[in-house]
Chain A
Amino acid sequence: MIRKVYNGFFKSINAISITLVITMICVVAYMVVMRYVFSNSPRWGDEVALLCMVWIAFFSATTAMKEDLHIRIKLWDLVLPPKVMKVLEVIVHIIVCVVLLVLIKYSISLVELTGKNVLPGSRLPMKLMYIVEPITGVFMLIAAIGRIGEIIGSK
Chain B
Amino acid sequence: MRLLEASSAIMILVGTFLFLIAVGVHISISVMAASFLTAYFIGIPLETMAQALVKGINVYSLMAVPFFIIAGEIMMRGGITEKLVELSQSLVGWIRGSLAQVNIVASLFFGSIQGSSAADTASVGAMMVPAMEKDGYDRDFSTSVTMASSVEGMLIPPSHNMVLFAMAAGNVSIARLFMGGIVPGIILAVVLGIYCYIVSIKRNYPKGDKFCPRRAGNAFLKALPGLGTVLIVVVGVIGGVFTATEAAAVAVIYSLIIGIFVYKQIKFKDIPEILSSALKTISIILILTGASAMFSWLVAYLHIPQLISEWMLSITDNKYIILLMINLLLIICGMFMDMAALILILTPILLPVTIGLGMDPVQFCTIMILNLGMGLITPPVGNTLFIGTAISGRSIGQLSRAMVPFYIMMAIAILIITYVPAVSLFLPNLFMP
Which residue numbers of A lie inside 8 Å of B, CB to CB?
A: 14-15, 17-18, 21-22, 24-25, 28-29, 31-32, 35, 46, 49-51, 53-54, 56-58, 60-61, 63-65, 67, 69-76, 88-89, 91-92, 95-96, 98-100, 102-103, 106-107, 109-110, 113, 129-130, 132-133
Contacts and interface: CB of A to CB of B under 8 A. Distances in A.
A95 B363 CA distance: 39
A64 B29 contact: no
A67 B288 CA distance: 16
A32 B254 CA distance: 13
B337 interface: yes
Interface of B: 20-29, 32-33, 36, 46-47, 49-51, 53-54, 57-60, 62-63, 66-67, 70, 242, 245-246, 249-250, 252-253, 271-272, 275-276, 278-280, 282-284, 286-290, 336-338, 340-341, 380-381
Contacts of A35: 246
A100 B32 CA distance: 9
Contacts of B33: 95, 98-99
Nearest to A27: B249
25 contacts: A15-B272, A18-B272, A18-B276, A21-B279, A25-B252, A50-B59, A51-B58, A53-B58, A53-B286, A54-B57, A54-B58, A57-B287, A64-B287, A67-B280, A70-B28, A70-B287, A71-B340, A72-B25, A73-B336, A88-B23, A95-B33, A96-B26, A107-B47, A129-B54, A133-B50
Contacts of B27: 70-73
Q: For the complex, would chain A's binding face be called helix, strand, loop or mixed by DSSP majority?
A: helix
Given A106-B50, A130-B54, A75 B284 contact: no
Contacts of B23: 88, 91-92, 95
B275 A22 contact: yes
A60 B283 contact: yes
Contact of B337 (A29, A31, A73): A73
Contacts of B249: 25, 28-29, 32
B12 to A, nearest CB: 15
Contact of A64 (B51, B53, B283): B283
Contacts of A29: 249-250, 252-253
A106 B47 contact: yes
Contact of B284 (A18, A71, A110): A71
A135 to B, nearest CB: 12
B422 to A, nearest CB: 35
A50 to B, nearest CB: 5
B283 A63 contact: yes
